[in-house]
């Protein structure tokens, strides 16, 4: 899927700003005989696949967008964090991404990601704090803990 956005770059190729439009495409699969709605709107169908574009009010800040998908008698509820329309990116002295308007990132002296944390601009959601358990080992894993 192509994510529609416009970006500006520095001379060394780093993104410094991203403009994200206020909509998101919700895609999935369900029995072809079931009708499918996403946030109350009827989804487009092609066989078992469905699509629905939802609008997101991300003009000034990142937002949490609830998504409810109903296919036949099954209901799925969830959501997504959507960046602000104008997203500014920040980098540390080594060129590592340090903030993107939704997440802040910390790196060690060898430029390995050591933690990620949500910026709190999206309040009252179950936002994970991500910390790598085994950097430098052959197998890497991420431990996610929901913030309260």
Q: Tokens at residue 19, please?
A: 């403009």
Nearest to 51 by CA among 40, 42, 64: 42
93 and 56 within one domain: no
139 and 124 within one domain: yes
On whether residue 37 sits in a domain, the answer given is yes
Q: Tens of pLDDT along 49-61? A: 999 999 998 888 8
CATH number for 13: 2.60.40
67 and 16 within one domain: yes
pTM: 0.67
Distance CA 112, CA 97 (A): 11
Find the angle CA(121)-CA(125)-CA(128) to the nearest 5 degrees. Answer: 90
On whether residue 1 sits in a domain, the answer given is no
Beta strands in the chain (DSSP E): 6-9, 15-19, 23-29, 36-38, 41-42, 44-46, 49-55, 63-71, 74-82, 86-88, 90-91, 97-99, 103-107, 113-118, 128-132, 142-146
**How many domains, in total, are found in the chain?**
2
Between 132 and 34, residue with greater pLDDT: 34
Can you give the residue range of the structural domain that contains 27? 6-82
Q: Which of 82, 106, 131 is the last residue of a domain?
A: 82
């Amino acid at each position: 899927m192509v994510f529609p956005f416009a970006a500006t770059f520095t001379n060394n190729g780093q993104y410094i700003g991203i403009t994200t439009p206020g909509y998101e495409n919700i895609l999935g699969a369900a029995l072809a005989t079931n009708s499918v709605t996403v946030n109350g709107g009827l989804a487009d169908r092609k066989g078992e696949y469905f699509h629905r574009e939802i609008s997101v009010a991300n003009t000034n800040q990142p937002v949490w967008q609830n998504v409810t998908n109903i296919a036949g008698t099954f209901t799925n509820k969830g959501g997504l964090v959507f960046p602000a329309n104008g997203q500014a990116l920040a980098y540390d002295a080594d060129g590592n991404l340090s903030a993107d308007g939704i997440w802040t990132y910390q790196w060690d002296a060898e430029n390995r990601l050591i933690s990620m944390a949500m910026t709190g601009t999206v309040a009252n959601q179950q936002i994970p704090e991500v910390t790598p358990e085994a950097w430098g080992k052959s197998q890497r894993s991420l431990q996610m803990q929901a913030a309260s």
